Structure 1
């Protein structure tokens, strides 16, 4: 991760980046790894704090709040789903109004307040614990909604896309970013879980609050090194604009587009910051091209925003967003599988022999093996696999985004198969030892039996999780990068919701015995086989969609104003 200054073509960054006060920034003294180290450090601290809430949440709800296993799993999935859907709100605010820096700062304060309330609800028994606890964890989710997508996009912003060396470093950034996530999570699921299980929940929740305060301090310390991208206006407004204009021009012929005589009026005052890469016209979703055809009503329009006419750039950006939708939907089953590591996997481990000598392992701490696998393998992937693959494929990333995602999906199928086989063996051990009707008894079977499924989860994450982050960030339009990270996070959020829905449907269809509180009588193996089957079917669909996907094609260093120079063809109204 060494700095390389040989790529500097001028003294200033040329991608429109500015400092906190809106001034041009020096390439040599801002951004790159010197800035991204602060961002990664903040993420390590934030993930440590978040792991202290999520990893043991199902245990807290069942053992302290008295909820059933199925209810606790559904509550965890719903909360996790909300936590990974709220980034859409944070992304919208950052891309439209506040910018990433101020959104991160404000959401960190909300995050910290939520963690303080979680600590109070666990420490002061006189409070209405259930109400305070659920309010506080959803406040944490709200804070994370602004913090999570903006921080990752902000870190990637520190590398200039137009600089070949910095572009290569940006690809490495996503690997080390996720490595940092796993380091923080690993510390959380070991240190904090041990404290929560053996010392007390108050201290176990209080440490994350202190850590989040430290994270905010670290973030502010790096202010003078950061490169900032100014907000480019509401992406939602531009998307709606394209569809409204298309509706108005539904009966207009697009033959003019085929002759490259496309009207594209510049939207003065809406897109007013710096420059963005311009998309080349594509053949996808050609019905949207109608929005760029100008007629007499458009020519006579004197309003600031003509809702009947769009620029070619805006139409192509909407096409790019729509083009991501099939891949996003085909990633959702992976999100369902991902949700299991913090719910049913943890409950499985709680029934098994967790002792190593005199030390008893908290069941949720096995999640640390997912993170440990990632921490060990991501540097290998970045430093060994990518250079070798680059020489073989000619792709600067070694393999494409979608190839990387698909590889992890295949490994996730194997993880569900291994989990089902491990559960069959666990239930058999309970029967053989006469423990079927003794849910509190420890089954004489080492918890290490579950290690392979956790390790496979980690290996799948090395490919799919990092691949999705880079894919959705890279393929989103330049003014919607934060939204791209939110789209990636929503895969995990919707996956958590789908996991809850699948459990609910199974229970309604008479499969409630799969999830009874006594796991020795339950059939989690059936559930894992179902997920393995769904994942295999989904993988085939994904392969088909990935083979048809067209990566975006954009030209660099084209300003907004250049669109106004495009040829116009006036059509009769």
Structure 2
């Protein structure tokens, strides 16, 4: 993951000079996000008197504005009266209190969504060399996981043992430091000029193709609209491909499509062949993209359930210290951080020396699939043992089972290694394969299916609660192990679907453009 120095004749904008600013921004924002999201379930249960499974559901939905969240922990009117052991019934939050809580979580979630994966593509845009882009992605994810690790150890401990207000306040301070770092690097960033929404242009392809569906396609390249090029340069003429041939109608020039100056009269009546081919690329990628949803749904569900499990297990490390439940995912971060270093500094270089090739992004994603499925199976076995121990000791509800929480470490380590393979693989795959017009949204597409996975995980848990008795409020009375087995089976089915999609996909190794001299439409 070594960053190579920038040549002395490099342009002033972009390059490695932007690296420390973007990485510092990523570190600050990740510390902030980790500080409020990793311990959210415990906060909802202990401070807002919300039942355990409901708290897990809320965490799935919301998983920035940290100030409002800090106020809910420091101002008594913004949270319900604390529950005492002998208090019955335990009063939940009022409508106003829950409204303020949801508002703070919504703002925090939007802040994370608008920065974490956007920074990844913005950072990659600073480099024209693909090798440098790969190095940047490696450092980006390494920083993200290390910062999350720090927040899990430090900020979560402060929240559980010192003060929720101080913990959320530190998250806000980290967020501010990240913002300052980002602003300070502003004069060095290489920014792409905005050209309108690329997705609007792609939508116009569908509209134009439908409107011209009765027109006969021409075998002549000059009958199709080409992307305008700078004056005096040789044009890269795109040839219409035969796949999804119906879309080629969108670029077929008809009478009235052009203005006298050669510009397009109405964008949704005529599109360029480049726009058509960009849409075809997205269609080819979409099956692989869809597999990412079911790949991350088990992980999203596990992140919530692991906290509930740890609350009902022995979390002591020594005589006095007790591991916070919200810090259990620390083992995922440790595993991922170490694995990223090993993969990029040892495994990949060794494979390249031995085979003169490197694993493709799709192969790295595939390894992530296998490891995630293995983690779900391990989770099912460990939970089965925990339930057996609870039954042996006649423990019900959420009573603490005399079984060490470290039994769950192997499954978390396995999923961590899986993330080290699949997250960089996914971002690199979409960044390399996405059309140039929407390349900046490549990492955001990963964030999109992760978000969908969390919502789907919420729906899965809700469905299981309504149709089975596996997830009661007292997890010792349920069968959470069966939930993990369902996730394991779903992962296996999805992996089979992924293998088919990956086998059928062809990388953009062959450029469908030829260099000729011509005029654009």
Q: TM-score higher than 0.5 here? A: yes
Q: Give the drift of 1:185.
A: 0.5
- 1:250 maps to what in 2? 213
Q: Is the 8 A contact 1:153 1:482 kept in 2?
A: yes
Within the candidate set 363, 367, 375, 2:325 is matched to 363
Is 1:565 the equivalent of 2:516?
no
Is the 1:401–1:468 Cα contact (8 Å) retained in structure 2?
yes
Correspondence for 2:314 among 334, 345, 353:
353
5 Å matches for 1:453-492? 453-492=411-450
Contact 1:276–1:478 (Cα < 8 Å) also in 2: no
| Aligned position for 1:521 | 477
The answer on whether the counterparts of 2:373 and 2:488 sit within 8 Å (CA) in structure 1 is yes
How far the C-alpha of 1:453 sits from its partner, in A, is 0.8
1:546-557 equivalences in 2 (<5 Å)? 546-553=502-509
Q: Give the drift of 1:304.
A: 4.2
Structure 1 counterpart of 2:72? 121
> Are residues 554 and 266 of structure 1, via their aligned partners in 2, closer, same or farther at CA, if it must alter by over 3 Å?
same
> Which residue of 2 is the match for residue 32 of structure 1?
15
What do the CA deviations read for 1:121-163 (whole angstroms, capped 9, x no partner)?
A: 1111123432212101101122223222321111111211xxx
SS at match of 1:343: helix
1:336 and 1:492 mapped to 2: Cα distance? Answer: 8
> 2:464 touches 2:471 (CA, 8 Å); kept in 1?
no
Q: Following the alignment from structure 1 to structure 2, what is the Cα–Cα distance between the partners of residues 37 and 503?
A: 41
Give the equivalent residue in structure 2 for 1:375: 337
Match of 2:367 among 407, 432, 442: 407
CA distance in 1, matches of 2:372, 2:264: 53
Q: 2:193 aligns with which of 220, 227, 230?
A: 230
- Report the 3-state secondary structure (helix = DSSP H, G, I; strand = E; otherwise coil) of the residue aligned with 1:565: coil
Q: Does the aligned pair in 1 maintain the 2:53–2:473 contact within 8 Å?
A: yes
Distance change >3 Å, CA 138–CA 536, structure 1 → 2: same
* Partners of 1:545 and 1:59 in 2: CA distance: 39
Matched, 1:447 2:447: no
Q: Describe the shift of the 1:306–1:207 C-alpha distance in structure 2 as closer, same or farther (beyond 3 A).
A: closer
Choose the corresponding residue for 1:421, options 381, 406, 428: 381
SS in 1 for 2:270: coil
Structure-2 separation of matches of 1:275 and 1:462: 43
1:52-71 C-alpha deviation (Å, 9 max, x unpaired): 11111111112221222222
* 1:331 pairs with one of 278, 288, 292: 292
In structure 2, C-alpha distance between the alignment counterparts of 1:304 and 1:129, rounded to whole Å = 54
Contact 1:342 1:367 in 2 (8 A): yes
After superposition, the C-alpha distances for 1:367-396 in whole angstroms (9 at most, x for unaligned) are: 11111111111121112222233345544x
Give 1:558 deviation, angstroms: 10
Contact preservation (8 Å) 2:374, 2:414: yes
Do the aligned partners of 1:413 and 1:532 also contact (CA within 8 Å) in 2? yes
Residue 260 of structure 1, CA deviation: 4.2
- 3-state SS of the aligned residue for 2:402? strand
Q: Which runs of 5+ in 1 are unaligned?
A: 12-25, 81-110, 161-165, 569-573
Give the count of matched residue pairs: 499
Q: Which residue number in structure 2 is paired with residue 134 of structure 1?
A: 102
What is the CA deviation profile of residues 411-450 of structure 1, one whole-angstrom value per residue up to 9, with x for unaligned ones? 1000000000000011111112222x2523x211111100
> Of residues 332, 348, 357 in structure 2, which corresponds to 1:386?
348
Contact 1:279 1:554 in 2 (8 A): no
Q: Is the 8 A contact 2:397 2:477 kept in 1?
A: no
